[in-house]
């Protein structure tokens, strides 16, 4: 029984898109889905189910940070028989050749945190996205002519814009991991999927650059993610 989700069994689709922000979930349902209905509003973590080009899709918020993502993706996988979750969120760039509004497809997520040890007792700090899901997303991006970069990210426990010594943090990342961006949820999603035998992927849009000291406003963030959303939705048709 799900503690944090009031949806009835069968009200959530096998494939779920998962933004962090509940209002972004609402925006996606209202602007991209047909015949959508609200299936969860517990703690205002909105979840909707509708159809996209005839395929049933759910979109539900995860909240911010690994603990919140860990709760919601676990319940979707374990109690609602969800097969695949694509996180669609925002990230910060650490390198000069990844710019504001670029789309990033996550290959591997690294964390300094102890989510894996808390969940299963395993000392694991790196986990990969589903190769099958990523392959479908890459195929779709090519067909839709949507540009993206495939890379590795660090999943942090502190919002990088609020770090007191971000340069020192970046210097402390593992050498050779090709970590170019930061966000806060992918490791929990990927690790939970791995442990439960499910699939997970993560698409991100760059909204700030630590390297160039640039950041989008809240209003710009809200309106600038449509290409990523379209890529995720079109990819679900292949899953």
DSSP alpha helices (H): ranges in 186-225?
186-196, 218-223
State the Cα–Cα distance between residues 63 and 61, nearest whole angstrom.
6
Active-site residue identified among 21, 97, 160, 208: 208
CB distance 184 to 155 below 8 Å: yes
Instruction: Give yes or no: 208 in active site.
Output: yes
State the Cα–Cα distance between residues 102 and 239, nearest whole angstrom.
24
Strands 84-93 and 15-18, by their bridges, are: parallel
For residue 233, CA distances in Å to 110, 150, 223 come to 26, 18, 17
Handedness of CA 65, 68, 74, 76 (dihedral sign): negative
State the Cα–Cα distance between residues 57 and 238, nearest whole angstrom.
12
Catalytic positions, written as ranges: 208
């Amino acid at each position: 029984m799900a503690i944090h989700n009031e949806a009835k069994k069968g009200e959530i689709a096998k494939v779920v898109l998962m933004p962090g922000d509940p209002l972004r979930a609402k925006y996606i349902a209202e602007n991209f889905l047909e015949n959508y209905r609200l299936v969860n509003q517990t703690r205002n973590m909105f979840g909707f189910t509708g159809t996209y080009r005839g395929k049933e899709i759910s979109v539900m918020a995860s909240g911010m940070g690994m603990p919140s993502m860990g709760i919601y993706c676990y319940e979707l996988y374990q109690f609602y028989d969800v097969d695949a979750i694509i996180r669609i969120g925002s990230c910060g760039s650490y390198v000069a050749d990844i710019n504001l509004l670029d789309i990033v497809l996550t290959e591997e997520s690294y964390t300094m945190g102890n989510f894996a040890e808390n969940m299963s007792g395993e000392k694991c700090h790196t986990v990969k996205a589903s190769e099958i899901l990523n392959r479908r997303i890459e195929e779709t991006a090519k067909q839709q002519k949507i540009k993206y970069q495939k890379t590795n990210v660090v999943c942090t426990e502190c919002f990088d814009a609020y770090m007191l010594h971000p340069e020192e943090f970046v210097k402390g990342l593992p050498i050779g991991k090709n970590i170019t961006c930061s966000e806060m949820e992918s490791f929990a999603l990927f690790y939970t999927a791995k442990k439960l035998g499910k699939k997970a992927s993560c698409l991100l849009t760059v909204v700030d650059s630590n390297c160039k000291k640039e950041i989008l406003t809240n209003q710009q963030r809200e309106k600038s993610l449509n290409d990523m959303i379209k890529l995720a939705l079109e990819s679900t048709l292949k899953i």
